[in-house]
Amino acid sequence: MQGNAYYVSTMSLIIYTKKGCPWCNDVLDFLHEKKVVFEEREVRENKTFFDEMVAKSGQTKAPTLDLDGVILADTDKDAVETFLKEHAMVR
């Protein structure tokens, strides 16, 4: 994305979302605001992603984050911010 500065990390972040989920939208907005690089996997329309999220987290709720195998399940923006600060992904 030209013109934008992004915080570069060697860690890989996946966020599992559900279309229409307000908590998911809040987390996505936060990640964009903080310019965190991530991969979004929408689980309502993709059974493979849904099954993957359940296998990793043991539950079916979103948003769920996977940061290099460290899972934060059924979360919200404030918890995501704390989680990413603890892992030096945001300042």
Q: In which residue are the tokens 């599992």 written?
A: 16
Structure tokens given for 63: 């948003």
- DSSP-derived pairing of the beta strands 64-67 and 70-72: antiparallel
Residue 11 confidence (pLDDT): 76
Q: State the fold for domain 1-71.
A: Glutaredoxin (3.40.30)
Confidence of residue 9 (pLDDT cuts 50, 70, 90): low
Residue 42 confidence (pLDDT): 98
Q: What is the pTM of this model?
A: 0.87
Ranges of each domain in the chain: 1-71
Give residue-wise pLDDT tens across range 10-24.
679 999 999 999 999
Give residue-wise pLDDT tens across range 47-86.
999 999 999 999 999 999 999 999 999 999 999 999 999 9
Give the CA-trace dihedral at 38, 42, 48, 51, to 10 degrees. 90
Q: Cβ of 2: how many Cβ atoms within 10 Å? A: 3
Q: In which residue are the tokens 């399940």 written?
A: 73
